[in-house]
Amino acid sequence: MDPASIRSTGSRDAAAASTQPSGAEVEAQLGRILASVVFRGSARLQRFLQVAVERTLAGEGDRLKEYAVGRDVFDRGADYDPRVDSIVRVEAQRLRRKLREYYQDDGRMDPVVISLPPGGYAPAFARPAQPGPVLARTEGARAEGERFAASAPPDSNTVAVLPFSNLSQEPEQQYFCDGITEDIINALTSIPELQVIGRTSMFALRRTAPDPREIGARLGAGTIIEGTVRKAGDVLRVSAKIIDAETRQARWSQVFDRKTTEVFRIEDEIARSIANTLRVTVGSGQPADTRHQAPAAEAHTLYLRGRQAWNQLTRDGFLSAIELFSRAIALYPDYAPPYAGLADAYVWLSIWGMIRPKEALPKSQRLAQDAIRLNPELASASVSLGATACFLDREWDQGLALFRKALSLQPSYSVGLQLHGICLMELRRFEEAMTYLERAVVLDPLSVRANRSLGALHYVQGRDQEARHWFESAAALHPEAPESHYLLARMHLQQRRYKEALEAARKCDTTPPSAFPLSVLGVSLARNGDHAGAERILRRLAEMSLSAYVDPLPSAFVQVALGNREAALDEFEKSIDEHSPFAALANVDPLLDELRSEARFRDLIGLLKFPQP
């Protein structure tokens, strides 16, 4: 419930007086919130809320501007520039969601509602309009990520770009339309004042009825962009609209009749029109036409098809992406994005144990460096090199610096947010990781990868209920993917719910088998007392390694469950030697907790070159 929707009785002034809590009541409510389970583990948000409430009660709410909050709450220095550093906007979003989460659970019956209205940093105080639960959970969400994204009123500076519709006769022109959509999304993500919903979520909504109010509510977006494309020969007609999600009214619309060679100029004009309509500034992250410089439509189409395949998160998808990116590079060697895409494909093949990491490392590193050489301002290239540095080469400081650079170029780049958060999680910097991974889900709530990553962060901290929410959300978005069931089985194992773990793990035994999902079946069998079954899984993993690379870490998991510590440590050491991206997760992975008392385990952790606190 919005605190502003309080029912009036009698005169307006009398109603306001009867519903406005006293300062003492607000202070008491602040204490309840700060002591709650929802806020207890987040010192940063506790401080933000406390400072905001105390200053508002002192009559200084009008001084809670972005610059002041950044300096006073988040300890930014004298050179702090809110246009570049989005810390206050990001944390304000988190605070709004946490407040709503609190009132959905612990605070359902509380007598005072504290909220942070969109567009500002001064909190509002009110009493509930009626006795009873203050807030109800969102109903009918397809995934937990949608509920999470929609937990605050839509903000006009949160933008959702619907896939542009293809009005041409040729169905293959859909890739061209998707290219326009993706370019506009990329152009907008470079504007710090905007929160841009990610491409995965937007393309997942392609077949739904494009009702602006419904989409705004589901994704927390106050501004919707929609359009159509008609292409005949070299003649192009693009129509675009900026729609207010709440009122469904068009705030801007235009039709462009141009040659196909001018498509990037059209995208640039649309991005600038959106910025002008929302009264934000296109900053140093230049708009679409100056960033991409695609030498031909074919180059961009091949790149987009590669990204679409990459987003399938399957072996076949990654291999298809490699073929498409490689073809684009062969035809257009000076075009940077396919190099970054190809680097990503090799990184993710190695992350899921589908290619030897030692083989992936030099390839992904060289490709990402080539992409940066061709276009130093390409955020995806910095993310690719950052992922290689952290997950394969264990150069943590270099990787984090590259993630920061990428997010300064494109603050709403969801993949960059996810990988930055995962890297911080492996370094046990959990609160910082939460900032990035929560923001990634808000910006791309229908992304399987984003939901899994946030679930993993809760999982390694022992937050079982929250982990289950996000893992089940990922499974709902992609029910056939064994990786989601693998993560659910892990969660059940941590809770010692071994029968439920085994039920989930059996869904991981696919054809062809995948080592990490298969390993959790071995662990579940061992925990249920079926040691012979777990041994059979070890033999299957060994047989798989005869014909293809198999990360040794899955065998380590099964050996731990069987009580074979030395054998588990042997496999862990092999995994480190192979530069397995998952080896670093040993720093936080509950499946290896039984090894932490071993001196050899601690020595092996030292080989991962984690920075000293």
Q: Which two tokens stand for residue 540?
A: 């299957």
* DSSP states of 508-527: T--SS--HHHHHHHHHHHHH
Q: Which two tokens stand for residue 525?
A: 């069998």
Summarize the confidence of residues 360-380 as an average pLDDT.
93
Express each pLDDT in 492-523 by its tens digit. Answer: 999 999 999 999 999 988 888 888 999 999 99
Gap between the Cα atoms of 191 and 181, Å rounded: 16
Gap between the Cα atoms of 131 and 111, Å rounded: 8
Pair 149, 442: CB distance under 8 Å: yes
Summarize the confidence of residues 459-486 as an average pLDDT.
86
Express each pLDDT in 311-329 by its tens digit. Answer: 777 788 899 999 999 999 9
Percent of the chain with pLDDT over 70: 88
Summarize the confidence of residues 50-78 as an average pLDDT.
89
388 pLDDT higher than 60? yes
Q: Which amino acid is at 441?
A: V
Neighbouring-strand partners of residue 317: none
Express each pLDDT in 115-126 by its tens digit. Answer: 888 668 889 898
Pair 321, 337: CB distance under 8 Å: no
170 pLDDT higher than 80? no
Q: What is the CA radius of gyration of the chain?
A: 25
Burial class (CB in 10 A: 0-12, 13-18, 19+), 149: buried
pTM: 0.76
Express each pLDDT in 247-260 by its tens digit. Answer: 888 988 889 888 87
Looking at residue 293, what is its pLDDT? 62
Q: What are the E-state strand segments in 16-76?
A: none
Domain residue limits, the chain: 3-137, 155-285, 496-613
Fold of 155-285: Rossmann fold (3.40.50)
165 pLDDT higher than 90? no
Q: Residue 245 — φ and ψ, nearest 5°?
A: -65, -35
Q: How confident is the model at residue 289 (pLDDT cuts 50, 70, 90)?
A: very low
Higher pLDDT, 260 or 230: 230
Distances (CA, A) of 613 to 394, 425, 587: 16, 14, 14
Instruction: Return the minimum-mean-pLDDT range out of 40-49, 395-404, 445-454, 540-549.
Output: 40-49
